[in-house]
Structure 1
Amino acid sequence: MMGRVKKELWIGTAVFIVFAVLGALLSEVGITFLSRIVIMALYALSFNLMFGYAGMSSVGHALYFGFGGYALMVYLTKLQVPLLPACILSVLTVIPVAWFLGTACLKNNMLTFSFLTMGLCTTVQLVLYKTAQLGGTVGFTYYFLPSWMSGYRQLFFFILICAGICAVLIYLLVQSPYVQMLKGIRENDERMTFLGVNVRKMRVSIFVISAVFANIAGILYAFRNSGAYTTSLDANVSMQAIMMCVVGGRSVFLGPVLGSVIITTIQNYLSVKTMYYEGIIGVIIVLTAYYLREGLLGKGGPLDKLVKRLHRRQDRPAEHDSE
């Protein structure tokens, strides 16, 4: 167990260093794209707390991603709150909202939960469309970055550090007994109920925690785009979270990170090359779901097999020397 944890920490550190090196070397266009990958990786990690570890398939997770940006803009532009307090208030505001909505959505079974989350996200997006005071059909455009963050490279490293801290917090949470109980609920909620676990409260709590990290990703997205826009609440954004976890591997901590790199790259580059890029993403999802049910990094996936082969090659000389 400890060996696996150390290995994951080393791999996570290596991924962070790779992003940092790329951020130091790439041009403005490359860094802008890289910052989107980092933000979407945090968004996918937040969603996987529900999806991968608790078995909760929300189809409206974009609500909390978009909420982060809109709440920040309201505090900055309408209430004239300074930047740092506005960020803190944006995170704190989403907690009671997510608790209320999560409690309402989790009153019935998981199928109802999925449809309710999707309906709520669509409803909120429609309200934003029709409310001129909140930007209407476009959204907010407001340049609020301080002078020390005005450069695109400085902004990227700020986003990377914030996302890295959140990723560490999520990883520590994943290793806790709390998430182990969620895994038990995912596998057999009736048995956990018989053991005295309040299944509904556990699900509501992870729903709120997941919403908080998605909210932080939304705030970082507002930093990147200097505003908040209604497109951040699209159903497509909610589906991206599912696709990133499925492709990368929802049972592995870094699976959503790999999925975010693949899906975001396809959406950004193939959308320029061909109008059928969504069909390509659909084919990838179908093939992954059919042939790689645990994703690329999951058990039995191609990368998992490659790692096992490398370990076998490393063990052979040791066995030969012992003889």
Structure 2
Amino acid sequence: MTQQSPVDFPQLQWRPAAVSDVPAWAALIARTAAAEHPVWYEREADLQQHVESRKNPLATHTVLGLDGGGVIRAYGRISKNPNGDKAHGFGCVDPAWQRRGVGTALLGWLEHSTRRRFAEDAAGAPAPVLPRLRIGTEQQHAHQAKLLESAGYTVVRYFNEMHRPLDQPLPTKVLGGGLVLDVMAAEMHEQVRIAHNETFRDHWGSEPRDQDSWSFTVKHPHARPDLSTVVIDTESGTVAGYQLASHDPDLAARRGFREGYTELLGVRREYRGRGIAQALLADAMHRFTVAGMDVASLDVDSENPTGALALYTGMGYRAVNTSMAWDKTL
């Protein structure tokens, strides 16, 4: 097995994450979130997915920095699909250990690990691909932007978190003939996964979802299958569109409102222009309201080529937060 990359910060003891680290690992992220107030951060259920990942094993794709008392003070992680053209980097530093150079050292580890992973994948590839690392930040976190800018990263995309209050009159959209909307049953998961991969195959930054990653999405503890729907072509049985919803009760407690979140929304190309996305969103708003939610929310690529931003604003969604994707070719 390939050895893990080193971290250039000897004041902490560095090693890969293990299954037994998940509670303490999640506690580090929660401590950092309590100080930095991100809109969303990973919890134990999310970290458990990384533990179970076969594509990105803990031994070579994670690193934890522990102090002399064995407390986790920093972590780094990369994730990459075998045929992907980029790796994604994640990490955080305990507030008590910030401004000491730990973040810079972790960024070096992320880059080193990305180069190693690309080299491994290149062994079976027809042509080499330049290593590229992508890191996401929220606009409010200027200290992260400063670190990335100083290391040669550039913003390649902006994303908007959008909210639609549910105490205002809700839209009603009627589907045309030959199309029906229904709750997404478990037996439809694979059909919807295939529809999603086809729908997003040319979207910026999107990569195909395999069965493992899709299973995590639809079976996540925050997933709400009762609020998730599909539109079916009654003649062919084809999934024409879908809306996958979730609700995070912990996030509701922190933000002071209950949020029905649309994780994924998609319409197959051959069915676009028939009001399917509008019908799915309108239906979601009604379901969210019945479930006691205060707002409907989603995230959108600000340069989405399908005109999604205009669609959402036309249905009453408004941007409330902005995040960025930063890239660096290594």
Higher relative contact order (CA 8 A, sep 6+): 1
Q: What TM bracket, shorter-length normalisation?
A: under 0.3
TM-score (norm. length: structure 1): 0.22
Q: Which has the higher helix share?
A: 1
TM-score when normalising by structure 2: 0.22
